[in-house]
Amino acid sequence: MSNLIRWEPAREMMTLREAMDRLFDDAFTRPLSLSGNNWSIPAVDMYQTDNEVVVKAALPGIKADEVQINVTGEVLALKGETRQENDKNEKAYHIHEQRWGAFERSIVLPVGVIADKAKAEFENGILTITLPKAEESKPKLISIKSK
């Protein structure tokens, strides 16, 4: 004998807020694929300390001079392009998964930053961008006076 579970349509429906939260989560945290050029938007990690926001982007096989970094307001944009090598000898590929073409990723920064003092380093296919926080974004210590 199996247990019957009463179907409640209200429980199955997602609220508009939950749907929007899922949409924004998917749009800003998951790498997406661009059709037609075998390139996916770079995967990104972002965290902050008391004084700075750090963004790390995985760009394997990319050269530092093939990447542009821009900060406009509260948005950090990474973009660039890699070109497919033209083989003189026709090869019969069994697998051809090398990524090539244009890529772009925009990330909304969690706090205001000082873009002029940003630093970018590229090592082993990982681009690390360090953005100092604007003074108004840094945590303030409030001392308590006792009477």
Write the CATH number of the domain with boundaries 37-85+101-137.
Answer: 2.60.40.790
The single-letter code of the amino acid at 67 is V
Range in 30-39, 63-72, 126-135 with the lowest mean pLDDT: 30-39
Mean pLDDT computed over 71-93: 78
Query: Domain segments of the chain: what residues?
Result: 37-85+101-137
- Residue 134 has φ and ψ, to the nearest 5°, of -70, 150
pTM: 0.63
Sign of the four-CA dihedral 29, 68, 131, 121: positive
Residue 19 amino acid letter? A
DSSP, residue by residue, 31-45: --BPTTSS-BPPPEE
